[in-house]
Amino acid sequence: MLHYILRRLLRMIPTLIVISIMSFTIIQLPPGDFFDSLQAQLAESESKADQEAFDALREQYHLDQPIWKQYLHWVGGCLQGDFGYSFEWRRPVSELIGERLGLTFLLSFGALIFMWCIAIPIGVYSACHRLSLGDYILTFIAFIGLCIPGFVIALIAMYVSVFWLGGSAGGLFSYEYQYAPWSLARVWDLLKHLWIPVVVIGAAGTATMMRLMRTSMLDVLDEPYITTARAKGLAERWVVYKYAVRVAINPMISVLGMQIPQLVSGSIIVAIVLGLPTTGPLFYRALETQDMYLAGTFLMLLAIMLLLGNLMADILLAWADPRIHLD
């Protein structure tokens, strides 16, 4: 097992190199750079835009050099934990992303737990009561959930929260706790705000997982060993939960590793609409202002998370399903 993981990690190295090159290239695609847009802004506001000062800035951040040199410089820094400097925020990228990563993961984990808690029982119910009224209704709701764009769900959730429940309009903290140090009260405040984004981010995933669990469960329920269990006179509940669900859940486990990275990237649009202090809006803003190191690092980080998620999925599946051998 350890051998296998090591081999997979080694094979990731060339992939990582290509990913870093691609991230950097994509971020470089827009014409001009951050200082061009800054210069244009300054010229508009009639303050003196000193060409020499900008040239000096470009030189300081190596923007005057050919692209491959800029790339090598950036990658060299990345290997030492220095992901570059955000022009807009005037702070290191690692710091900016780091302070928002915690809440991003918290939200994604929340959405993950929400998805599993809702999708698995409903999937099992749907499969056990196949083609019943309940099954039809749940399937239909899942279908609808898949068809509403995430940002529309976010808008509706915001509306419900503000005008029906008297809550806040997005964000993760109330005004008085926004910049307060961590305390029990602040945690409670966070939890009060957390459920809206968690439900919104988890909505589409829940629908997909529900369908997956239902299909998988239907396959398993047809297996001869289930018939055997029933023939032996086991209670139906026992047959379903002890025999069927334990096997039917394998496909869910195999997607589990990918779900966190998928949730992180899937939540970007929702986070922008709800104004959450997570990494998504930071990335969006960085794309708009051509804050290239910030955007590039985030893109690369997501790709790395997907890679690791893939590996984790394989390991988890091998752990859950004794029929699978990795070596």
Partner 1 sequence: MTKTKEALYTAGQWRLAWIKFRRNKVALAAGVILALLYLTTLFCGFIAPYETDHRFAQRPFVPPQAIHLFSDQGFHWSPFVYGLKTVREPVTGRQLYEQDRTRIYPIRFFVRGDLHKFIGLSTRLHLFGIEAPPAEGIFLFGTDQQGRDLFSRTLYGGGVSLTIGLVGVFISVLLGAFLGVASGYFGGWFDELVQRTIEMLRAFPQIPLWMALSAAIPPDIDQLTTYFMITLILSFLGWTSLARIVRGKVLSLRNAEFILAAQLMGASHGRVIFRHLISGVMGEVIVIATIAVPTMILAESSLSFLNLGIRPPMTSWGVLLQEGRSLTTLYFHPWLLIPALFIVITVLCFNFLGDGFRDAADPYSE
**Residues found near partner 1 in the complex (CB under 8 A):** 15, 18-19, 22, 26-27, 29-31, 143-144, 146-152, 155, 158-159, 162-163, 169, 261-262, 264-266, 268-269, 272-273, 283-284, 287-288, 295, 298-299, 302-303, 306-307
Least gap, CB of 180 to partner 1 (angstroms) = 24
Q: Return d(Cα 92, Cα 97) in angstroms, integer.
A: 9
Smallest gap from Cβ 288 to partner 1, in A, equals 7
Q: What is the DSSP letter of 41?
A: H
Question: If you ran DSSP here, which 8-state letter would residue 92 be given?
Answer: E
Tell the smallest beta-carbon distance from residue 136 to partner 1 (Å). 11
Minimum Å gap between C-beta 158 and partner 1 is: 6
For partner 1, which is the closer residue by CB, 229 or 303? Answer: 303
Cross-strand pairs, 85? 92
CA angle, 98 then 99 then 103, to 5°: 105
- Of residues 219 and 230, the one with the C-beta less far from partner 1: 219
Rg from Cα positions in the chain: 24
Shortest distance, CB of residue 149 to partner 1, whole angstroms? 5
Using CA atoms, how far apart are residues 209 and 126, in angstroms rounded to an integer?
A: 12
Report CA 68 to chain centroid distance, whole Å: 30
Nearer to partner 1, 53 or 156 (CB): 156
How many alpha carbons fall within 13 Å on the CB side of residue 156?
A: 11
CB of 154 to partner 1, least distance (A): 10
Closer residue to partner 1 (CB): 123 or 266: 266
Q: How far is CA 163 from CA 160, 168, 174, 175, 221, in A?
A: 6, 9, 16, 18, 45
Query: Measured from the CB atom, is 68 or 159 closer to partner 1?
Result: 159
Q: Output 198 or 294, the one with its CB closest to partner 1.
A: 294
Round to whole Å and give the CA distance between 74 and 17: 12
**Helix crossing, 150-159 with 250-274: angle to 10°?**
60
Q: Which is nearer to partner 1, 244 or 295 (CB)?
A: 295
Q: How many CA atoms within 13 Å lie on the side-chain side of 252?
A: 28
Q: What are phi and psi of 86, to 5 degrees?
A: -85, 120
CB 162 → partner 1: shortest distance, Å?
A: 6
Distance (Å, whole) CA 218 – CA 128 = 8
